[in-house]
Amino acid sequence: MLLASAEPLATAYDVALMDLDGVCYRGAEPVDHADAAVEEARRLGLRMMFVTNNAAREPQTVADQLSSLGIPTSPDEVMTSSQAAAAILAAVLPTGSVVLPIGGAGLRTALTEAGFTLATGAHDAPVAVVQGFSPDLGWRELTEAAYAINAGARYVATNLDATLPTERGMAVGNGSLVAAVTNATGVVPISAGKPEPEIFRQATRRSAGSRPIAVGDRLNTDIAGARAAGIPSVHVLTGVSDARDVVLAAPHERPSYLAVDLRGLVEPHPVPSRDGAWWRCGAAAARVSGAEPHLEIRLGDREVPLEPGEPVTVSLDTWRCLAAAAWEAADDGAPLTVSQVPALQVVAPR
């Protein structure tokens, strides 16, 4: 269930493990309020670690982009899936081991900084292959990976995201390219990135934090990965997963806190509580009702069923109540379906 915080999250926790696209920016554009919210959270004492599945970019490049959008960032505050993959191998291979990078500059830099010798192909007899996304990857590179893996090399992937959002739509992601190598070798790689827990643990260690909170927009990567790592998380509505997705979330994808955007880091978070059949939070209330389950909210003295169809505008506290009610129903064996829940437009309490 949701957690309560009587104080702002920025003082309740000491480091935020921040996703990037859909949280701090969307493509080349900053997310509204992100810069001011991060500035205020830092003022309250919350450190930042920006954690990304993007394996192609180097930490300095990520830091430069964030800084250009009004979020001053150093490369030491960036954790990429390439760095996570390099750390996984560094824990099991001696320094100087020959490793074949299949990916971009960010991957090669991470492996070099971790002390590995870079192979250029299977003919260099690498002891491991690390595959990360690059738009320049082609048949030759994937085939070299297959040759090396079939010869006995370990296989690590920076992440297994099947798709990659672009301005033109969903493109082929690293996971889809990994699938080609797996199909040719029969070997499934260890994955370093979200939703695997290791990247969250590494980011926490690098930050020297002891009370981390993850911040993300994707339930199946950011939130699921945080839960797998045992780290509380806050979901924001500025990216991929919407408010209805949260209400319908499976247990392993449920966030600890709900926010409209990054301003949620500098606010307290009330939690719904049971009141008879209703879940209440402040003046808001919601429940699952009926032989054919449906959601209801209370507006003053009226009980209003939420009918699928037109989007419904609700307050942040009402969204919290809807999530609590739907999660309880699902856990009791009566899950709602997407056809039973309308699209939700959540209005921040400002």
175 and 203 belong to one structural domain:
no
The answer on pLDDT for 26 being more than 90 is no
Tens of pLDDT, residues 50-61: 999 999 999 999
Q: What is the pLDDT at residue 254?
A: 99
Tens of pLDDT, residues 240-284: 899 999 999 999 999 999 999 999 999 999 999 999 999 999 999
In a domain, 3, yes or no: no
Mean pLDDT of 158-172: 85
Tens of pLDDT, residues 62-86: 999 999 999 999 999 999 999 999 9
Q: Nearest 5°: CA angle at 165, between 159 and 166? A: 130
In a domain, 125, yes or no: yes
One-letter amino acid at 212 equals P
Q: Which two tokens stand for residue 16?
A: 């935020």
Q: What is the pLDDT at residue 156?
A: 99
Q: What is the pLDDT at residue 224?
A: 98
Q: What is the pLDDT at residue 292?
A: 77
Counted domains in the chain: 3
In a domain, 109, yes or no: yes
Contact 132, 104 (CB under 8 A): yes
Q: Is 21 a catalytic residue?
A: yes
108 and 187 belong to one structural domain:
yes
Q: Which two tokens stand for residue 238?
A: 């500025």
Q: Which two tokens stand for residue 189?
A: 């790689």
Mean pLDDT of 311-332: 96
Banded pLDDT at 44 (limits 50, 70, 90): very high
- State the Cα–Cα distance between residues 134 and 158, nearest whole angstrom: 11
111 and 179 belong to one structural domain:
yes
In a domain, 77, yes or no: no
90 and 186 belong to one structural domain:
yes
DSSP for 146-189? Answer: HHHHHTT-EEEES---SEEEETTEEEE-HHHHHHHHHHHH--PP
185 and 94 belong to one structural domain:
yes
The answer on pLDDT for 285 being more than 70 is yes
DSSP for 197-222? Answer: SHHHHHHHHHHT-SSEEEEES-IIII
Tens of pLDDT, residues 127-147: 999 999 999 999 999 999 999
Banded pLDDT at 350 (limits 50, 70, 90): low
182 and 200 belong to one structural domain:
no
39 and 88 belong to one structural domain:
no
210 and 145 belong to one structural domain:
no
Percent of the chain whose pLDDT exceeds 70: 99
Domain boundary (191, 210, 226) is at 191
Contact 217, 20 (CB under 8 A): no
Banded pLDDT at 293 (limits 50, 70, 90): confident
pTM: 0.92
Q: Is 136 a catalytic residue?
A: no
Banded pLDDT at 182 (limits 50, 70, 90): very high
In a domain, 4, yes or no: no
199 and 187 belong to one structural domain:
no
In a domain, 211, yes or no: yes
Give the helix, strand, coil percentages of the chain, each rounded to 5: 35, 25, 40
- State the Cα–Cα distance between residues 203 and 139, nearest whole angstrom: 33
Q: What is the pLDDT at residue 168?
A: 82
Mean pLDDT of 226-242: 97
201 and 185 belong to one structural domain:
no
Q: Among the options 14, 19, 217, 245, which is catalytic?
A: 19
89 and 172 belong to one structural domain:
yes
For 136, the domain range is 82-191
Banded pLDDT at 150 (limits 50, 70, 90): very high
The answer on pLDDT for 169 being more than 90 is no
CA 266 centroid distance within chain: 20
186 and 141 belong to one structural domain:
yes
Q: Among the options 21, 35, 222, 317, which is catalytic?
A: 21
In a domain, 60, yes or no: no
Q: What is the CATH number of the domain that holds 93?
A: 3.40.50.1000
In a domain, 113, yes or no: yes
